Amino acid sequence: MKHVTLLFVLLATASIAGEYVVGYGDTLSDISVHFYGTWEKWEDILAANPDLRGAEYLAPGMVLQIPDIDTAAETSVSSSTRYVTEIPAGAVLIRSSEPVLSRIQRESAGFVSYSPINPEGYVLATNAEDEGVYRNLTALSGDLLELDFGAGQGVEVGRVYHVLRKCEEIEDPETGNTGHIIRVAGVCQVESTTPSTCIAKVQHCYLSIIEGDFVVPYRAAGDIRIQNEPGVDRGLLWVLGFRDPDRDCAYNYDVVYLSAGSSHGISPGDVFTAYTASEQVRDVNDQWVSTAEIPIADVVVLTTEARSCAAMIVSTRTANLIGLGDKLYLSRSQVD
């Protein structure tokens, strides 16, 4: 297999300042901000951990070596050694998105469902740690949830779940079928059980968790290798909605929901380009003509369902923003 080799400079005398255990939702940029006050040192952390193949392979529970950047900065470049990482042929290095194309992004993408969800249970109460006093109606990271299933259903301490929420209804413009956007509210881990309930701590949240949110077993996302070869024509896709419920358009690194999925041959890593819609205008001869469709942005598919997929915007081509109803085609060129 052909490889593209990237070179990082790791200073030979750089010392290790300590260790850090990766948590849910962490990115190398976050960790860099935590230790150095800036996101720009994420590459130094990557270079100090040669077993970490890339920023997108960061996973909860992983132990990272944190380099002493100040000591490294005082060392001359002449005493450096090279740290080499290999990117498989066929993958595209999207330079500005490396820190955010992490597994947690794919696990929090959400999806569109055209059929009822069969959850393991529901959030019975939020802020269970505040028993006996007024409880907040929402839960955030670090809060405790009470779930309506327990040891009698086989739940064990340490088990991890995704908390999901059924949101607005959408309609497929091609088929007319209606479904709902299912958003990931957070991730929780069981701390104690009773025969019929359990208490779980919110490890990470993307929305404020509320009573009635439903719970499904945690499913780790697989690796994504971005496609860089022309593929078969998979037809036209439409934008159905956004991960952020308050948005009516999407910016770089936002997640959008599209109108086709695995049953149409779409796989994680496929890249599509969104275009503005053509309009009917009169030309100089007073004849009706169609305007050109202008490319807006490129998106990478993160996860797929049978008839829909979630994709992250990774580059913008014009000042226009992706909106509801915009259409996309399979991209033949992922890197300008």
Which pLDDT tens digit goes with each residue over 172-217?
Answer: 888 888 999 999 999 999 999 999 999 999 988 888 999 999 999 9
User: Global pTM?
Assistant: 0.63
Residue linked to tokens 């000042």: 319
User: Does residue 250 or residue 281 have the better pLDDT?
Assistant: 250
DSSP assigned state of 54: -
Residue 48 and residue 83: Cα distance in Å, rounded? 9
Position 123 pLDDT exceeds 90 = yes
Rounded to the nearest integer, the mean pLDDT of the chain is 76
Residue linked to tokens 């086989």: 154
Helices (H), the chain: 28-36, 42-47, 69-73, 103-107
Would you identify the CATH topology of the domain 237-330?
Thrombin, subunit H (2.40.10)
pLDDT band per the 50, 70, 90 thresholds, residue 30: confident
Q: What is the pLDDT of residue 276?
A: 74
Same fold, 3-89 and 120-217: no
Tokens coding 220: 């780790």
Q: Which of 13-22, 138-147, 308-317, 324-333 has the lowest mean pLDDT?
A: 13-22
**Mean pLDDT comparison of 71-80, 231-240, 310-319, highest-scoring range:** 310-319
Residue 307 and residue 294: Cα distance in Å, rounded? 26
Q: What is the pLDDT of residue 273?
A: 83
Q: What is the average per-residue pLDDT within 101-112?
A: 77
Domain 120-217: give its CATH code: 2.40.10.410
Q: Which amino acid is it at 177?
A: N
| Domain edges within the chain | 3-89, 120-217, 237-330
| Measured CA angle at 137 (ends 106, 116), to 5 deg | 50
Q: What is the pLDDT of residue 215?
A: 96
pLDDT band per the 50, 70, 90 thresholds, residue 19: confident
| Measured CA angle at 236 (ends 230, 239), to 5 deg | 115
Residue 307 and residue 146: Cα distance in Å, rounded? 33
Would you identify the CATH topology of the domain 3-89?
Membrane-bound Lytic Murein Transglycosylase D; Chain A (3.10.350)
